[in-house]
Amino acid sequence: MIFSTLILNQDTPIYEQIENHIEKAVKAGALIKDSKLPSTREASSVLRISRNTVLTAYENLESRGIIYSIKGKGSFVKEEAKNDWQEVNIKWKQRINSYGQTCEQMDIIKTEPHYEKGMISFKSIAPEGNLFDVEEFKRAFLDVMALEGEKLLNYGYAKGYRGLIEYLMNYMEGKGVGGSKKDILITNGFTEGLDLILSTYTQPGDVIVCESPTHHTTLKMMKAYGLQVVGVPMDEQGILPEELEATIIKHRPKWVYLTPSYQNPTGIVMSGERRRMVYGILSDYHTPCIEDGFNEELLYSSSHIMPLMALTGESNHIIYIGSLSKILFPGLRLGWIMADSACIDTLESVKRAKTIHTSFVDQAVFVQYMKSGAFERYVKKAKKYYREKYLYTVEQIKEYIPYEKLWGEGGLHIFIELNHKIDTRELLKQCYRRGVLFMPGDIFEPSMKVTSSLRIGFARLKKEEISKGLKIIGEEISKNIIP
Amino acid sequence: MIFSTLILNQDTPIYEQIENHIEKAVKAGALIKDSKLPSTREASSVLRISRNTVLTAYENLESRGIIYSIKGKGSFVKEEAKNDWQEVNIKWKQRINSYGQTCEQMDIIKTEPHYEKGMISFKSIAPEGNLFDVEEFKRAFLDVMALEGEKLLNYGYAKGYRGLIEYLMNYMEGKGVGGSKKDILITNGFTEGLDLILSTYTQPGDVIVCESPTHHTTLKMMKAYGLQVVGVPMDEQGILPEELEATIIKHRPKWVYLTPSYQNPTGIVMSGERRRMVYGILSDYHTPCIEDGFNEELLYSSSHIMPLMALTGESNHIIYIGSLSKILFPGLRLGWIMADSACIDTLESVKRAKTIHTSFVDQAVFVQYMKSGAFERYVKKAKKYYREKYLYTVEQIKEYIPYEKLWGEGGLHIFIELNHKIDTRELLKQCYRRGVLFMPGDIFEPSMKVTSSLRIGFARLKKEEISKGLKIIGEEISKNIIP
């Protein structure tokens, strides 16, 4: 009998073991077409298991087309039917549309050299996890679960968790943002916020103006949506107003995308005066602007600077995307869009067609954590920690790197423009061979052209790594300089 | 002096109070252009606060353009500059592209009548939160936070949390899914899974074939992406194979979308034999298929039925989207795509351009919960609970509703086809006046045509509500029947 060779183990459900056993026997030719299987009663008695288990196995085998049954007669081996089907081999990589192609071609995880153990990587701008106050986070979790656990685990609303929306309304008011018709939508981080806006308000071929260089992920997303990206240069005060105005006149863009505070990758903080000039230009030309509130909280030295949105009053052309999760719990993926309520109303529908809503547990825990006062303590601690590393990194750059300009006054990275025309893409290849990684400037260029700039992220590196890594970069640079 | 009228309160940061005070004075004309403000020293002494606080306030006022300062001379009132700017009023609702327009027009939260307190709503198919094992969830949370809290709160990977991917690989193997080149991507629920696929592999105008009626959100998303949706009718066994084949021959669709188990809205479970036939057709015509694994776990009576994907072997034309979060913790928004590894590789890049990754805390807690054995206990409890409600609802429908067909054999809802040609959209209006809500069949129709069908969700209603609500629907139906 077929089951005499079956020894049951403890690790797999018994019905599965029976299925596998019979399937193998059929495939191996041990059971041939139309041969009768043991009755469920026989099998259960031989294997000392319940009849139901055998029944389940037989039913599964039947639904998989391996056996068939005739009422009152029993179960029989069917021909292996799988062989009837053609093997289908879709060439998935050839089916990708232009959106998907750009997402893949500009995916730096795929295109940039990979970190390997023992290397020194200046690539990342992720925060240092040791600084996170896990205990306070746990407390916040237990508090909200005790209060409304069942509710948080069930479906929520696309717009977001009410407590978090109210908290952020207040938080934005603290940044000087007022006006009666503004509203907030909670998103899965900055990235979803931008995706919602681009997917709703753009058409392929539209022009979008941004700072040059700019945030790589934004660049990738704009290009994936088929937008024509036009970069405008910056100085230490931020984007150049005359150039911005000239570009708007020339290209009549549908959008401008700006990161006024702590711009990525340069770290430039747009001055108050420049903000007012830029805002004036946007207003004169009635040009909508996506304002990226990137890491505003992590400035070391500047006083609290108002976002562009604080200048709007009752105007509605600025859409602000915020994300505290860049420095605080990026693993949670929480962000928000603040905009005119008519705009939020539409984006809420789009969100419902993309991700339904953002995790309600995460939202509730997050706001509870924020309200506990832990955030202020964290920012204080983080600023001190990163400032020290920042100053050390600057010192080491001055020691080893022949730079033209050193940008940035805060955050988790420094942007360097070398004082020689060295292709930093090539430089990276050389440094990689010596175990050092950084972000070459070309990935931040709207034109994608080669640059002699690079971004150095330092948040998670030890001092000795920073020093050693910069020394190697410096050495490789000097090899490229023909005296 | 300007500060003699300022009384400081405890609730707002002092620098803000100073800012507001001066801003108001400027606006009210109490401080005129170019008048000098008290020095920071004077102000700090009058207000008995630190000089730094005054400095912060003045700096903020300066960056907002309300005052200016001259080195060595002090701070002065600038003209209110806001008035220079034009008020910009973008007509956001007119700027929406066709994608956004469809998302909004087909957003049932906006188009369907709203629940008001005291009504009986059969609209929802959300699970009953009382069944959730919050204690077990908390335990899982504390376990994973203790183990790797800092890691989980920092950036993770687009593909997903490794522990969850491995768990789901195993889980899918338990459903009979094998093959060497399959891989998994974690998503923010089913919806993001479908969004990733549609945004990567479709072009406006492409034909997609589905069961008719079908899941409303899917229908909305397909139409938003500009796809031509062609519905194929079903019988009790599932989609009709001859019709499916004829449709494929006629339209040469890029995709087929199917929900073989517990189809939404009908609740039909495709039989094993039908699955094999459908799979055979998909293979014959090399047609890729998105398989929606909707609520497979909640079948009351059928034995464990294999997904279509279990038939693939080394073929790669089926993409499976799974989501346990429909019945278990929908608030977390967790789902996954299982597909050919080349396909997952691309979708991973697209995910990185849309939401970076799904909350790592949620993923880790979820898999810890699943591994604890709590899921099996929950499904057992939930099945019993919903089965009882289901049977009661069926009984009450038989009592009150003149139906032609009653679909479904599980889950959290029942689909009714009335035995008279009654426009259920009109019927809903009548019932709404009497405080009863349901989902009229038209929202599930690819053609969006009026139907005489309706969906009854019962998961969160009390027995007396179910009975009372169905009685009212029955009464309104009888008013529409001309004898």
What are the extents of the domains in chain A?
2-84, 102-129+376-480, 132-374
Cβ contact (<8 Å) for A93 and B346?
yes
pLDDT score, position A28: 60
Q: Report DSSP state, residue B299.
A: B
pLDDT score, position B278: 96
Which is it for the CA torsion B399, B400, B404, B409, positive or negative?
negative
Q: pLDDT band at residue B123, thresholds of 50, 70 and 90?
A: very high
pLDDT score, position A304: 52
pLDDT tens-digit readout, B218-234: 999 999 999 999 999 99
Q: Where are the extended beta strands (E) located within B390-476?
A: 403-407, 413-418, 436-437, 439-440, 453-457
> Which residue in B269, B284, B356 sits closest to B315, CA to CA?
B284
Q: Report DSSP state, residue A258.
A: E
Cβ contact (<8 Å) for A331 and B359?
yes
Q: How far apart are CA B35 and CA B52, in angstroms?
A: 22
Token digits for A144? Answer: 């909200």
Q: Report DSSP state, residue B310.
A: G
Q: What's CA A24's distance to the chain center, in Å?
A: 44
Q: Which range (A278-292, B17-31, B105-119) has the least confidence?
A: B17-31
- A 37-96: CB under 8 A from B: 55-56, 59-60, 62-65, 81-82, 84-90, 92-93, 95-96
Q: Which residues of A touch B60 (CB under 8 A)?
A: 176, 303-304, 306
DSSP per-residue string spanning B199-254? HHH--TT-EEEEESS--HHHHHHHHHTT-EEEEE-EETTEE-HHHHHHHHHHH--S
Residue pairs spanning A and B at CB distance below 8 A: 335
pLDDT higher than threshold 50 for residue B335: yes
Cβ contact (<8 Å) for B200 and A103?
yes
Q: What's CA B367's distance to the chain center, in Å?
A: 21
Kindly give the pairing relationship between strand B289-292 and strand A207-211. unpaired
Q: What is the Cα gyration radius of chain B?
A: 30
**B379 in contact with A at a CB cutoff of 8 Å?**
no
* ipTM score: 0.86
Q: Which residues of B touch A343 (CB under 8 A)?
A: 92
Question: What CATH number is given for A2-84 in this structure?
Answer: 1.10.10.10
Q: Which residues of B touch A332 (CB under 8 A)?
A: 153, 359-361
Q: Which residues of B touch A154 (CB under 8 A)?
A: 126-127, 129, 132, 329-331
Long-range CB contacts (within 8 A, 24+) of A177-181: A177/A307, A177/A309, A177/A310, A177/A312, A177/A320, A177/A338, A178/A310, A178/A313, A179/A312, A179/A313, A179/A314, A179/A315, A179/A316, A180/A314, A181/A314, A181/A316, A181/A340, A181/A341, A181/A342
> Which residue in B355, B305, B316 sits closest to B335, CA to CA?
B355
Token digits for A331? Answer: 């693993």
- What does each C-alpha distance from B303 to A51, B190, B294, B298, B455 come to in angstroms? 14, 24, 16, 11, 25
> Which residue in A266, A76, A60, A308 sits closest to A172, CA to CA?
A308
SS3 A374: helix
Cβ contact (<8 Å) for A150 and B137?
no
Q: Which residues of B touch A224 (CB under 8 A)?
A: 353
pLDDT tens-digit readout, B125-157: 889 999 999 999 999 999 999 999 999 999 999
What is the CA angle B238-B243-B247, rounded to 5?
Answer: 120
Q: How far apart are CA B63 and CA A196, in angstroms?
A: 31
- B 327-346: CB under 8 A from A: 329-333, 340, 342-343, 346
pLDDT score, position B32: 72
Cβ contact (<8 Å) for B56 and A303?
yes
Return the residue in B82, B104, B284, B412 with the most chain A beta carbons within 10 A, the one to mutate for interface testing.
B104
- Only one residue has tokens 């508090």, namely A143
Cβ contact (<8 Å) for B65 and A284?
no
Q: Report DSSP state, residue B35.
A: P
Out of 2.40.170.20, 3.40.50.300, 3.40.50.720, 3.40.640.10, which CATH number does the structure's domain A132-374 have?
3.40.640.10
Q: How far apart are CA B267 and CA A91, in angstroms?
A: 33
What is the CA angle A316-A318-A319, rounded to 5?
Answer: 110
Cβ contact (<8 Å) for B63 and A353?
no
Could you tell me which residues come within 8 angstroms of residue A287 by beta carbon, excluding any fewer than 6 positions away?
A248, A253, A255, A256, A281, A317
> Which residue in A309, A366, A364 sits closest to A338, CA to CA?
A309
**A121 in contact with B at a CB cutoff of 8 Å?**
no
B4 versus B71: the higher-pLDDT residue is B71
B333 and A357 in contact (C-beta within 8 Å)?
A: yes
Cβ contact (<8 Å) for B88 and A313?
no
Cβ contact (<8 Å) for B349 and A199?
no
Q: Which range (A79-83, A218-222, B405-409, B476-480) has the least confidence?
A: A79-83
Token digits for B39? Answer: 């020095």
A483 versus B312: the higher-pLDDT residue is B312
Q: How far apart are CA A308 and CA A299, in angstroms?
A: 17
A257 and A292 in contact (C-beta within 8 Å)?
A: yes
Q: How far apart are CA A135 and CA B338, in angstroms?
A: 36
Nearest-neighbour CA in chain B from A454: distance (Å): 22
Q: In one letter, which amino acid is B46?
A: V
Cβ contact (<8 Å) for B311 and A85?
yes
Q: How far apart are CA B200 and CA A102, in angstroms?
A: 10
Q: Which residues of B touch A151 (CB under 8 A)?
A: 129, 331
Out of 3.40.50.10420, 3.60.21.10, 3.90.1150.10, 3.40.640.10, which CATH number does the structure's domain B133-372 have?
3.40.640.10
Q: How far apart are CA B54 and CA A155, in angstroms?
A: 47
Token digits for A302? Answer: 């500047």
What is the CA angle B239-B245-B247, rounded to 5?
Answer: 90
Cβ contact (<8 Å) for B176 and A349?
no
Q: Which residues of B touch A366 (CB under 8 A)?
A: none
Cβ contact (<8 Å) for A311 and B16?
no
Q: How far apart are CA A101 and CA A107, in angstroms?
A: 10
pLDDT score, position A4: 66
Average pLDDT over residues B87-115: 96
Q: How far apart are CA B226 and CA A204, in angstroms?
A: 14
- Considering only the beta carbons, identify the residue of A203, A221, A350 that sits closest to B103: A350
pLDDT score, position B302: 46
Q: Report DSSP state, residue B77.
A: E
A106 and A220 in contact (C-beta within 8 Å)?
A: yes
**Winning range, highest mean pLDDT, from A170-174, B41-45, B82-86, B395-399:** B395-399
- Domain A102-129+376-480 architecture: Alpha-Beta Complex (3.90)
Cβ contact (<8 Å) for B138 and A137?
no
Cβ contact (<8 Å) for A150 and B132?
yes
Which is it for the CA torsion B1, B2, B5, B11, positive or negative?
negative
pLDDT higher than threshold 70 for residue B83: no
pLDDT higher than threshold 90 for residue B303: no
Q: How far apart are CA A245 and CA A283, in angstroms?
A: 11
> Which residue in A338, A342, A343, A345 sits closest to A321, CA to CA?
A338
pLDDT score, position B301: 53
Task: Tell the CATH topology of B100-129+376-480.
Answer: Aspartate Aminotransferase, domain 1 (3.90.1150)
SS3 A182: strand
SS3 B413: strand
Nearest-neighbour CA in chain B from A147: distance (Å): 11
pLDDT score, position B299: 62
Cβ contact (<8 Å) for B352 and A103?
yes
Return the residue in A51, A63, A255 with the most chain B beta carbons within 10 A, the one to mutate for interface testing.
A63
A233 and A189 in contact (C-beta within 8 Å)?
A: no
pLDDT score, position A83: 54
pLDDT tens-digit readout, B167-195: 999 989 878 887 789 999 999 999 999 99
- pLDDT tens across the length of chain A (483 residues): 678 667 787 778 888 888 888 887 777 656 777 778 888 888 888 888 888 899 999 988 888 888 998 888 889 888 655 557 889 999 999 999 999 999 999 999 999 999 999 999 999 988 999 999 999 999 999 999 999 999 999 999 999 999 999 999 998 987 888 778 999 999 999 999 999 999 999 999 999 999 999 999 999 999 999 999 999 999 998 999 999 999 999 999 999 999 998 899 998 989 878 998 999 999 999 999 999 997 666 666 544 567 999 889 889 999 999 987 777 888 899 999 999 999 999 999 999 999 999 999 999 999 999 999 888 888 888 888 998 999 999 999 999 999 999 987 777 899 999 998 999 999 999 999 999 999 999 999 999 899 999 999 999 999 999 999 999 999 999 998 876
Cβ contact (<8 Å) for B353 and A145?
no
SS3 A393: helix
Q: How far apart are CA B266 and CA B454, in angstroms?
A: 10
Q: Which residues of A touch B62 (CB under 8 A)?
A: 272
pLDDT score, position B94: 96
Kindly give the pairing relationship between strand A74-77 and strand A67-70. antiparallel
Q: How far apart are CA A252 and CA A239, in angstroms?
A: 17
**B304 in contact with A at a CB cutoff of 8 Å?**
yes
pLDDT higher than threshold 80 for residue B27: no
B188 and B334 in contact (C-beta within 8 Å)?
A: yes
Cβ contact (<8 Å) for B129 and A154?
yes
Token digits for B240? Answer: 């009709």
pLDDT score, position B422: 94
Count Cβ atoms within 10 A of the Cβ of residue A269 and give its class: 0-12 exposed, 13-18 middle, 19 or more buried: buried
Q: Which residues of B touch A333 (CB under 8 A)?
A: 355-359
Cβ contact (<8 Å) for A90 and B352?
no
